């Protein structure tokens, strides 16, 4: 069964304490892996797309990496405003279309 699993479910960090969020997947024929940030009561905000193993993307304090089985979202020296739920989504293709499934997300809390 195609699955996307994110860990940990929740992560509490002190401001400046770097860490990583994990997204593991079991789909075959990956078209792309996406990271989104979601604030409470809001729609997800697009962060990154990764297409192939070894690829890395950076944006401010965030860096996303991809292997054949998982992706990591590294947060360097986080600030309280980085607190949010981070969602990972995986897209794969099949005859006639494509499908995207989301992980359950990691809720990040950064304390000043």
Residues near another protein (CB under 8 A): 31-32, 34, 36, 41-46, 49, 87, 89, 91, 98, 100-105, 107
Q: Which is nearer to another protein, 9 or 14 (by Cβ)?
A: 9
Q: Are 100 and 3 within 8 A, CB to CB? A: no
- Measured torsion, CA atoms of residues 58, 83, 72, 56, in degrees rounded to the nearest 10: -10
Report the residue number, 38 or 76, with the smaller CB distance to another protein: 38
Question: Given the complex with another protein, which of 15 and 58 has the nearer CB atom?
Answer: 58
Is residue 78 within 8 Å of residue 108, measured between CB atoms? yes
How near is the Cβ of 12 to another protein at its closest, in Å? 15
Q: Cβ of residue 80: shortest distance to another protein, in angstroms?
A: 20
In the complex, minimum distance from the CB of residue 43 to another protein, in angstroms, rounded to a whole number: 4
Q: In the complex, what is the shortest distance from the CB of residue 18 to another protein, in angstroms, rounded to a whole number?
A: 25
């Amino acid at each position: 069964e195609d699955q996307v699993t994110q860990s940990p479910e929740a992560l509490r960090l002190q401001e400046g304490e770097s860490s990583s969020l994990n997204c593991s997947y079991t789909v075959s024929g990956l078209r792309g892996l996406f990271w989104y940030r979601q604030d409470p009561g809001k729609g997800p905000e697009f962060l990154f797309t990764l297409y192939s193993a070894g690829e890395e993307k950076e944006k401010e304090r965030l860096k996303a990496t991809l292997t054949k089985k998982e992706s990591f979202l590294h947060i360097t020296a986080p600030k309280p405003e980085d607190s949010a739920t981070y969602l990972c989504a995986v897209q794969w293709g099949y005859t006639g279309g494509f499908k995207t499934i989301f992980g359950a997300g990691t809720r990040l809390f950064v304390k000043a």
